[in-house]
Amino acid sequence: MSSPTPLAGIKVVEFTHMVMGPTVGHILGGLGAEIVRVEPIGGDRTRRLLGSGAGYFPMYNRGKQSICLDLKSEEGIAVAKDLIAKADVLVENFRPGALDRLGLDYDSCSKGNPGLVYASEKGFLPGPYEKRTALDEVAQMMGGLAYMTGQPGKPTRAGASVIDVTGGMFGVIGILAALEERHRTGKGQKITASLFETTIYLVGQHMAQYAVTGTPAAPMPARVSAWAVYDVFETRDEPVFIGVVTDALWEKFCKLFGLDDLWANENWRENNARVLARDEIIPQIRALIGTMTAAEVIAKLDGSGLPFAPIGKPEDMFDDPHLNEGGLEDVTLDDGTPVRLPTIPLEMDGKRIGAPQQLPQPGADAHAVLQALGYKTAKIDALIEQGAVGGKQ
């Protein structure tokens, strides 16, 4: 069954690096758009990151074409402008003013292509901070997410690039809205998404909590939960998360685990009363769960309607039976290694997004991309020889 391609025919040119910008192109490409990734001569340095950055490029750049340009040369800039002139969407996430200094700002690009949707992924929207350089971690620290994630007094960034990725998702939302508006007006526009404001949107629930209660939100490890039973419980081997989020589920939970004494207390039949009595309730539940294995706990909970989860690790996900029913797609890394990586988490018209993908070699698509623009082979070879375009003659 072929994957849905609702954005087929949409041409995107990408001037991006790291995570936030490439996420935009990856999502648009997964939905069927044609993505041409502009890299510096020799390839984007993101390809060569170590440690926690080693997965950035393969996760967010598969299924794209690559062309390497020397944007410090007139010839390289001319090629970039030709790419932009034929594009529906431009995506960039370099520091403020970087493309402007090259003459690739929105006003300049839209003169020759008034239908262009120009998407900038930045650290901040307009305001006192807009010229600052930001990273995912900077935004998490500034915006309160690290404070909410860590133990009190120990701010801790979330365990994935959640702001980069979510900021990229907001960029996609803006692009899709701008394309829809273009259908009515024929005109493109510039849209901007940002790391800092994305963080604030995510912590907005805690801001609203303060507005409603007058009490500052405590970091998640120290919070007073909205539910009495909403914890990670140690078993004889592996921990398990269990949530009891309704009064009906409280009854079911007590009966499943033989907690007759807890159910017998009619004062605890309502959730808020159980929240106030957590210090009495939770030790009894921990004692019982601690006598069981994780498999025994999960066997009782599976199919019950009660929220539960084993504590998974990223490397466990490759073998997850649910994900292997369509949540992972085949990817060939740039060294030829076959792997399976997460698809875009959508189903459209009964079909999952995702198809076998390859990572683009630096500049490998130069001839194909430029020939599609109408360049003759001799001119492409001359640009490569001059060093304005990276690739093989």
Number of domains comprising the chain: 2
Query: Does 1 have pLDDT greater than 90?
Result: no
Query: Does 92 have pLDDT greater than 70?
Result: yes
Distance CA 268, CA 139 (A): 41
pLDDT category, 294, cuts 50, 70, 90?
very high
Can you give the pLDDT at residue 355? 87
CATH number at residue 231: 3.30.1540.10
Instruction: Take residue 381 and report the two structure tokens written for it.
Output: 């070879």
Can you give the pLDDT at residue 69? 98
**DSSP assignment of 47-76, as one string?**
GG--GGGTTHHHHHSTT-EEEEE-TTSHHH
Q: Which domain holds residue 181?
A: 11-202+326-390
Can you give the pLDDT at residue 270? 96
Instruction: Take residue 158 and report the two structure tokens written for it.
Output: 């979330």
Q: 72, 100 in Cβ contact below 8 A?
A: no
pLDDT category, 237, cuts 50, 70, 90?
very high
Mean pLDDT of 55-69: 96
Can you give the pLDDT at residue 150? 94
Per-residue pLDDT of 185-202, as tens digits, reads 999 999 999 999 999 999
Can you give the pLDDT at residue 268? 97
Could you tell me if 284 and 332 lie in one domain?
no
Residue carrying the six token digits 């990229």:
168
Q: Please report, to the nearest 10 degrees, the dihedral formed by the alpha carbons of residues 224, 225, 226, 231 taken in order.
A: -160
Query: Does 393 have pLDDT greater than 60?
Result: no
Mean pLDDT of 89-116: 97
Query: Does 233 have pLDDT greater than 90?
Result: yes
Of 288, 312, 336, which marks where a domain is finished?
312
**Residue at 184: amino acid letter:** R
Could you tell me if 334 and 261 lie in one domain?
no
pLDDT category, 335, cuts 50, 70, 90?
confident
For residue 334, indicate whether it is catalytic.
Answer: no
Could you tell me if 76 and 171 lie in one domain?
yes
**Residue at 4: amino acid letter:** P
Q: Where are the alpha helices (DSSP H) in 247-373?
A: 247-256, 260-264, 271-276, 278-289, 294-301, 366-372
pTM listed for this prediction:
0.94
Per-residue pLDDT of 20-32, as tens digits, reads 999 999 999 999 9
Mean pLDDT for all residues in the chain: 96
Whether residue 195 is contained in a domain is answered as yes
Can you give the pLDDT at residue 101? 96
Whether residue 213 is contained in a domain is answered as no
Of 270, 288, 312, which marks where a domain is finished?
312
Could you tell me if 80 and 143 lie in one domain?
yes
Query: Does 370 have pLDDT greater than 70?
Result: yes
Of 312, 347, 379, which marks where a domain is finished?
312
Per annotation, catalytic residue among 164, 231, 334, 365: 164
